[in-house]
Structure 1
Amino acid sequence: MYTKIDNMASETVMSPSGGEEAATERNPDTLPGSADPNGQCPRCKRVCSFTEVSKTHLRRGGGGNRQQQAVVLGCQGCSHGIVVVEEYRVVPGLMGARWVPMHWWPTPGVAVDLADVPSELAAAYEEGVRCVSVEAPHAAVAMFRNALAHIVHDKGSEEAKKKKTLNQSIQQMVADKTLFDAFDDWATHIREMGNAGAHQESWDEIPLSDAQDLQKLVLALIDNLYVRPAELARMKKPTKRSATP
């Protein structure tokens, strides 16, 4: 039996075995799940609250297997449903276990239309977003660094592309004045955070909030370099009135 006790900041849920689960902080920047039914809807892209419609067990616990369930949630924004596959397990940094979302249907995209973005760059960014959504900040920042590498390869000069390291390529782009003045600061921060995520043995743990901030920074970079220029190119130019006879 599942019972919920709601408050403004967190939610305490009874586990399938009857014990108390770890308290879950509500975070609208992550995708929704049964423990935190708030977040961006994979269908309408709005940040909304969700109502639990139904659930079913996919795998019972025992024998070394973790329990799994599928939950149908209804978006209070668009009124459409989504499916979340969850696993019951201990979450690092929290006291106790909880239902952790693993997969969503429809597959989550991003709030911005990436149709004008190179496919490899878009794929790297979207994978980073999915990592943020399942609260995997180290994997997320590593993928955002990968997205930056695709930007450098696409926008950099031939000399920049020949460099052996991403840092050297960035510095060449700065010397070439390829992009805007603040690109050096933006790119260096993304690169350093990505390195820290990929080499956890040498760096302190990266909080989820830092990965979310990096997501916003990379999205702003993509927006400025690809989305807005494409939108401007599609805009109609003003036309003069025809001469009156």
Structure 2
Amino acid sequence: MVHPGGVREPVFHERATVLVCRHCEQGIAVLEEQLTGGHTKGSGERLVGEVSWRGFHWWPLAGSSAHQAVPSEIASALNEAVLCLSANCPRAAAVMARRTLEAIATDKGGGKSKDPLAKQLANMAASGLLQPALADWAKEVRAVGNSGAHFDPIDTVSNADASQLIEFLQALIDYLYVLPYDLAQRRAARP
């Protein structure tokens, strides 16, 4: 940008913003990129239209802290899935989501750890540990995780796919670990 008198001022198309989380009320740093008419500067599109900003990197990363009831191996695998997604690596995120599900199945006794994940999930569903909707979502995590791990030019994994898998796993972890723990704590605190 050139001001009157010929003074040049650099124009930045990325910025850092500090926000406050509505839930935990902690600070969050966000790196944002400028969109003009819905396009970024390097997109090759003509930049005409409304200017807006889109976050592309958040710190701390979502999901980077786990509830104390969640076993560390499961929390670590889920955190790695979140990191992969935040790095725009949806296939890797899907593979780590599948690994998280496998860790949950092994921890919850869905069968022997050497059993295929599909059999472990079937055992968890048959025992009632996974309700039908949870069992269906678990199958989806396994299938999309497999797509991420094995090359198929037609079968891709999008950021939206990986994000949905992570959201489901967070809900499953709440259902299997956090809610029972919180209920036990509540009951223990009553006189």
**Same fold flag (TM > 0.5):** yes
| C-alpha distance in structure 2 between counterparts of 1:221 and 1:174, whole Å | 13
Show the counterpart of 1:135. Answer: 88
* Identity percentage of aligned residues: 34
1:147-158 correspondence runs (5 A): 147-157=100-110
Aligned residues: 162
Q: Which residue of 2 aligns with 1:2?
A: 11
- Alignment of 1:194 onto 2:138: no
Matched position secondary structure for 1:161: coil
- Equivalent position amino acid for 1:75 in 2: L
5+ residue gaps in structure 1? 4-12, 14-33, 35-51, 53-71, 85-93, 240-245
- Is the Cα contact below 8 Å between 1:144 and 1:194 reproduced in 2? yes
Q: Of 46, 49, 74, which residue of structure 1 is paired with 2:18?
A: 74
Structure 1 counterpart of 2:131, one-letter code: F
Structure 2, unmatched stretches of 5+, are 1-9, 32-41, 45-54
**Structure 1 residues 176 and 200: CA distance shift in structure 2, 3 A:** same
Q: Does 1:125 align with 2:78?
A: yes
Cα distance in 1 for partners of 2:127, 2:20 equals 49
Greater share of helix: 2
Question: Aligned partners of 1:172 and 1:117: how far apart in 2?
Answer: 21
Normalising by structure 1, report the TM-score: 0.55
Residue number in structure 1 paired with 2:179: 228
1:76/1:229 CA distance change after superposition, 3 Å:
closer
Is 1:196–1:202's contact at 8 Å kept on the other side of the alignment?
no
Distance 1:229 1:136 in 2: 33
TM-score normalised per structure 2: 0.68
The one-character-per-residue Cα deviations of 1:22-71 (angstroms, maximum 9, x if unpaired) are xxxxxxxxxxxx3xxxxxxxxxxxxxxxxx4xxxxxxxxxxxxxxxxxxx
2:127 aligned partner? 176
CA RMSD of aligned residues (A): 3.4
In structure 2, what is the Cα distance between the partners aligned to 1:117 and 1:79?
22
1:124 CA displacement: 0.6
More strand by share: 1
Secondary structure, aligned partner of 2:166: helix
